């Protein structure tokens, strides 16, 4: 039987090879700590920002420095991927474009897979103010997302 739950597919893939994931964190509460501990079941978590007992941490007082270092460490293979978390996205985007040779004017495509309390899964498009201001931009992101879904999850 085919799987239709993207979270299950992603989790199954994550279990195949343990990865090291950098996460930008500058403040915690019980929910954040619980989420980080759950993540440790599947990945090696490296905190970029504040020191959190029980986690590998790279401390930075400055969010801009932490954002740039997340991208640099990804490029250098220190981490396999990152979640910018509480680091301002502009720091990571600017550094990413610089290190990976992307034109600074190139518009990005970012989205997150979410699930509501009733179990409905959906994608949330960009949450950054400069993005998705026009209908053409929204159509461009939808086109890229649907092509990615088709290729990554064999959805037609």
pLDDT mean over 94-99: 92
User: Which pLDDT belongs to residue 101?
Assistant: 92
Q: How far apart are CA 104 and CA 101, in angstroms?
A: 9
Q: How far apart are CA 22 and CA 26, in angstroms?
A: 13
> What sign results for the dihedral spanned by CA atoms 141, 147, 152, 155?
positive
Q: What percentage of the chain carries pLDDT values higher than 90?
A: 52
List beta partners, residue 21: 45, 81
User: Which pLDDT belongs to residue 1?
Assistant: 43
User: Which pLDDT belongs to residue 142?
Assistant: 86
Asked whether the beta carbons of 108 and 102 are under 8 A apart, the reply is no
**pLDDT tens-digit readout, 99-118:** 999 988 887 777 788 889 99
Higher pLDDT: 145 or 29? It is: 29
pLDDT mean over 85-102: 90
Q: What is the 3-state secondary structure (H, E, C) of 52-120?
A: CCCCEEEECCCHHHHHHHHHHHHHCCCCCEEECCCCCHHHHHHHHHHHCCCCCCCCCCCCEEEECCCCC
User: Which pLDDT belongs to residue 47?
Assistant: 98
Look at residue 61 and tell me whether its pLDDT is greater than 60.
yes
Look at residue 2 and tell me whether its pLDDT is greater than 60.
no
**pLDDT tens-digit readout, 67-81:** 999 999 999 999 999
Give the C-alpha distances (Å, rounded to integers) separating 150 from 21, 62, 119, 125: 25, 39, 22, 17
**pLDDT tens-digit readout, 130-153:** 677 788 888 888 898 889 888 888
3-state secondary structure of 22: strand
Residues in the chain: 156
Closest CA to 109 of 91, 124, 122, 87: 124
Look at residue 123 and tell me whether its pLDDT is greater than 70.
yes
């Amino acid at each position: 039987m085919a799987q239709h739950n993207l979270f299950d597919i992603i989790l199954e893939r994550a279990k195949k090879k343990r990865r090291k994931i950098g996460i930008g964190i500058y403040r915690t509460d019980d929910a954040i700590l619980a989420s980080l501990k759950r993540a440790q079941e599947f990945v090696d978590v490296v905190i970029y920002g504040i020191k959190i007992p029980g986690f590998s941490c790279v401390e930075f007082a400055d969010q801009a420095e932490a954002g740039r270092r997340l991208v640099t460490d990804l490029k250098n293979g220190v981490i396999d991927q990152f979640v910018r978390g509480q680091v301002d996205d502009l720091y990571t985007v600017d550094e990413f474009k610089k290190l990976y040779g992307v034109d600074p004017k190139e518009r990005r495509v970012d989205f997150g897979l979410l699930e509501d309390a009733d179990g409905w899964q959906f994608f949330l498009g960009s949450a950054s103010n400069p993005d998705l201001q026009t209908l053409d931009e929204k159509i461009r992101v939808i086109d890229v997302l649907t092509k990615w879904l088709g290729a990554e999850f064999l959805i037609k």
